[in-house]
Structure 1
């Protein structure tokens, strides 16, 4: 062991050291947490004074506002007090009182601990969602640009892991885009619902009894206090009935939206990895990047692999919120505390990390057009057989006879590919078969890949015009400021 503890002697959460943005890390940082507590105490005292409570002076409010940002030295003061009192909120009431002595007697007046802890958590959820949403919109915008660029570029479609009818590179990207648009909607819905369900000033068991006491039984003032504190926190409404805490059902809904996005991240990363395995695409690869420590030629899809890994973690995090909500007892139990300190920040940090990766990947996907053509050429003769049959019938031939001739030649060509490892020679066999002589001059046209992609280009256009544009309109100012994501490692 090192004689002196350093950052290298203590476990480091990879979200902090490797994967996440400084903005998201700050939302859940100790400084933001305890400074937010202080702002909530200011909001409470200010509102109580506005409603006529005596003893809350202008000087007290000024001192509180002058010290709303907790300073480095105060963390140590609070830590010493918490060790002594075994109560984090009261440790910070004491610490804030030292910084604002004129307010020491009125800080936390009428409140329970959850006034600051729960209201602050809801603020963090809101702020974290507001960070994620523009970043998700940016990924959708980048993938839309990619889809438009390759709207008409044919490629093999795959069902059951096997070659199927052709699609286009752009059409495939719209599948990802549609799912990400669902995630955008889910996160917006979770944020908007949260904005109307602030905990506010509800007291120890949700009855507001302590506030009714300090306002001498004036119900209207107690209701007004709840409204004022809610408005000052930037929320549109407060829940009418709570326990000591806000309902952990809110955490469930927020974490479900994040977990659903984690599934999407896995899906997109998996698709890109499969296509990279087939050499059809490649994720961005930097000039000095090393793909493998042993195999120097390799270009491993490390970004997409990391995306799948973090997406998998995120997809499973919602179960913790579900179980925490389900096991709450009556007006409150504290078995939710430790787990929420882990689950809520890490859910958002994982989502933030996935979005950084998606931003980076979608900004530089490489499409290997020669490989796409090679794979199409290997499979298209089989796919074109129906066109050949229809063309023969159109010239007066028998469908049954045409089908039998095609079946025989297709199996022969398939054996050449599978058993001898040689190129697909079905077209050559058709050219040499007199039965197909009526359509020999049409074979190239009948095998044009562009005739096999259906409405793929038009589907790309419709998705961008009718789904993407309306969804991203509200983010246009933010999108103008978001650049390409740069990975830390």
Structure 2
């Protein structure tokens, strides 16, 4: 058998690449290296701006030229870094040499020794990961997440008055509205969204074991913690003053747990939508040319929700591993976080793929109100709750002497199918006030939805 040409192992880099490629703009080896260049360049500019070691601030043109190294970072630079790393066998050292080459080309050799000054690799890496994760969340993942939430919000509002039989424990239960049930998901998702948007992205910049030892040896008079804080915050990150060699990754654990939480809520949505489709509450809109089954031509399979379900499970598993393992580092440093963090993009990629499928799945279904009405009309026994509750109120108000109304309705309805006529006759035979009888005999499963439609409006409170 002829060997295949080189192929991607991950489906994210193959079949699904067109959907998730934007994650790679940040959370890929190239994206990480570009962020490393950002940190190295900005540290150089920072040191010279503060006239450290008798340097002078760079000219505007020199700063622009240095920052242009980042702006023009592309295929040629990726290849050059790979070539350098083949010799150094160290990715961050390769970035340092790459930056030094640019300084030489720009005639800035006089500040070359300030490249990577007093830095351990983790000083560069932790800031680079913070930048790339932040940008992935803000520019890629959150827009996709918000698009799904917006679609669900619109559905909740549109369907807030459409009655639907509930199925607690999978059994017919007190009716609700379809919009209210979707609004529950929106409320959950928006609550987690606010937590994610309020999260911190921490960074350290304090040397080999977080003590500023090399910094102090080079300049005992400088206020290195203050300079470190100014630099980290200048990158738009939150300064972490107390670390070992590594930034402790607690902010990452917090973020990944929240994204995983959002994933699990979305997973609940996917399984519920799949179930509603199987019950006929939603019908799937045929897509021209699409095939549901290779042998059963009538089928339209709920593949969007199935795909989302599977990818959310994979993403959640990866985020769980990330949040659990990254918070542990042996003594002042071990390298387990290095390999682990290279999978952050994979975790976000699977979540992004799921979000895309959910968004598309939601616009490929329509509500089958006739089927919803049919189910309600076949389950009049769900009004047993209303009847026994009204009797309890009547007894409490001295309008009735009925004993144990719950047991009475249990005997009438449990495990049985009864219709409108039987319920009306039963109510008319009760020893309750005429007003109570009128309320109950006018009730139908479709109107027994309480405040469900009004509750949807709480999304805007």
TM-score, L = length of structure 2: 0.84
Structure 2 segments unaligned to the other structure (5+ residues): none
Q: Tell me what 2:442 maps to.
A: 446
> d(CA) in 2 for partners of 1:402 and 1:10?
66
2:379–2:445: 8 Å Cα contact kept in structure 1?
Answer: no
Q: Tell me what 1:481 maps to.
A: none
Q: Tell me what 1:417 maps to.
A: none
Q: Tell me what 1:484 maps to.
A: none
CA change 1:47–1:370 in 2 (3 A) is: same
Q: CA deviation at 1:157?
A: 0.5
CA change 1:445–1:297 in 2 (3 A) is: farther
Aligned runs of 1:101-140 on 2, under 5 Å? 101=104, 102-103=108-109, 104-131=112-139, 132-140=141-149
Residues 131-177 of structure 1: per-residue CA shift (max 9 Å, x gap): 33343333222212111111111110111111101000011111111
CA change 1:435–1:85 in 2 (3 A) is: closer
Q: Tell me what 2:12 maps to.
A: 14
Q: Secondary structure at the match of 1:100?
A: helix
Residues 196-255 of structure 1: per-residue CA shift (max 9 Å, x gap): x222x21111111222233x21232x23431342243122x3111122211122221111
CA change 1:298–1:204 in 2 (3 A) is: same
Q: CA deviation at 1:360?
A: 2.3
Aligned runs of 1:158-197 on 2, under 5 Å? 158-190=167-199, 193-194=200-201, 197=202
Aligned runs of 1:40-439 on 2, under 5 Å? 40-53=39-52, 54=54, 58=59, 61=63, 63-68=65-70, 69-101=72-104, 102-103=108-109, 104-131=112-139, 132-190=141-199, 193-194=200-201, 197-199=202-204, 201-214=205-218, 216-220=219-223, 222-235=224-237, 237-282=238-283, 285-342=286-343, 344-380=344-380, 382-385=381-384, 399=402, 414=416, 426-427=419-420
Q: Secondary structure at the match of 1:156?
A: strand
Aligned length: 440
> d(CA) in 2 for partners of 1:257 and 1:404?
45
Aligned runs of 1:21-36 on 2, under 5 Å? 21-36=20-35
Q: Secondary structure at the match of 1:276?
A: helix
1:167–1:453: 8 Å Cα contact kept in structure 2?
Answer: yes
Q: CA deviation at 1:326?
A: 4.8
Q: Secondary structure at the match of 2:176?
A: strand
1:51–1:225: 8 Å Cα contact kept in structure 2?
Answer: no
CA change 1:82–1:277 in 2 (3 A) is: same
> d(CA) in 1 for partners of 2:376 and 2:98?
70
1:31–1:70: 8 Å Cα contact kept in structure 2?
Answer: no
2:177–2:453: 8 Å Cα contact kept in structure 1?
Answer: yes
Residues 173-196 of structure 1: per-residue CA shift (max 9 Å, x gap): 111112101220231232xx22xx
TM-score, L = length of structure 1: 0.79
Q: CA deviation at 1:24?
A: 2.3
> d(CA) in 2 for partners of 1:4 and 1:434?
75
2:160–2:178: 8 Å Cα contact kept in structure 1?
Answer: yes
1:44–1:229: 8 Å Cα contact kept in structure 2?
Answer: yes
Q: Secondary structure at the match of 2:114?
A: coil
CA change 1:246–1:284 in 2 (3 A) is: farther
Residues 350-374 of structure 1: per-residue CA shift (max 9 Å, x gap): 2222322232233454111111011
> d(CA) in 2 for partners of 1:30 and 1:144?
37
Higher alpha-carbon deviation: 65-74 or 141-150: 65-74
CA change 1:276–1:18 in 2 (3 A) is: same
CA change 1:256–1:387 in 2 (3 A) is: closer
Residues 27-67 of structure 1: per-residue CA shift (max 9 Å, x gap): 11333322221121111111111221235765865553342
Q: CA deviation at 1:444?
A: 10
1:63–1:100: 8 Å Cα contact kept in structure 2?
Answer: no
Residues 329-385 of structure 1: per-residue CA shift (max 9 Å, x gap): 12111122112111x1122222222322232233454111111011111112x1235
CA change 1:430–1:329 in 2 (3 A) is: closer
> d(CA) in 1 for partners of 2:357 and 2:401?
55
CA change 1:353–1:367 in 2 (3 A) is: same
CA change 1:224–1:397 in 2 (3 A) is: closer
> d(CA) in 2 for partners of 1:323 and 1:52?
42
Q: Tell me what 1:459 maps to.
A: 455
> d(CA) in 2 for partners of 1:376 and 1:451?
10
> d(CA) in 2 for partners of 1:86 and 1:292?
50
